Amino acid sequence: MAEPFAATSVSAPPHLTVQDWGRTEYRSAWAAQEALVHDRIAGARGDTLVFTEHEPVYTYGVRPGAEKHLLLDETATAARGISVVRTNRGGDITYHGPGQIVGYPIVDLSARKDLHAYLRLLEQVLINTVGMLGLAAARRPGKTGIWLATRKIAAIGVASRRWVTYHGFALNVACDLAAFHGIVPCGITDGTVTSMEAELGRPVDLEEVKRLLATEFETLWRAFPSGAATAPPAVEK
């Protein structure tokens, strides 16, 4: 099928197709993911990693009570230019917007049917990537995503159909952190949200981050069926 957006390559690793959809409206990108999932299940394409930046949006996951964590009414969100979408991914509520890299891996887990291990892989990809740029992020027990102490820098929420994944991760690089004040991000009350630029105190090149994310994802994804990529050590410095 034709690609839904004018996708560009992000130094695609040899065993993975990497696309950059640029800036997208959330519902359109979700529909485009569905088309890629259909093609992956049908064997019409291989594994694909998509990058995008969404127009401002709050998205709910399937966790019960997620709607209670939106702190603004419809008038207030509209005044801020932020749409609200209920999705079928895992997790609670989060914000997507410009300056945040959203990654959507459309990959086949049938060789190792373990969504929990796949979530750990995504966390490790993010830990390794921000580590190479100077930030020592880590997991928090019982909480999905990656953190700098109690400051969350990346959120993760996935779904799968016939063991093909969609949705994925959102890494805060240079996004508007004030938008998170309109929600209880991911339903977590004992932490805050941060970004790479806020932590580093300097501009961060989104294209460089995408290249690192693509390389780290491809490296760990190749090892995933054997179980070797579930929780390797964080990147060395």
User: What is the number of H-type helices and E-type strands within the chain?
Assistant: 5, 12
Q: Among this protein's residues, is 175 annotated catalytic? A: no
Q: How far apart are CA 140 and CA 99, in angstroms?
A: 24
Q: How far apart are CA 82 and CA 193, in angstroms?
A: 18
> In 3D, which of 183, 138, 158 has the Cα closest to residue 88?
158
Give phi and psi for 209, each to the nearest 5. Answer: -60, -40
Give me 208's structure tokens.
Answer: 């460089």
Of 146, 186, 212, 214, catalytic: 186
Beta-carbon neighbour count of residue 75 at 10 Å? 8
List the catalytic residues: 186
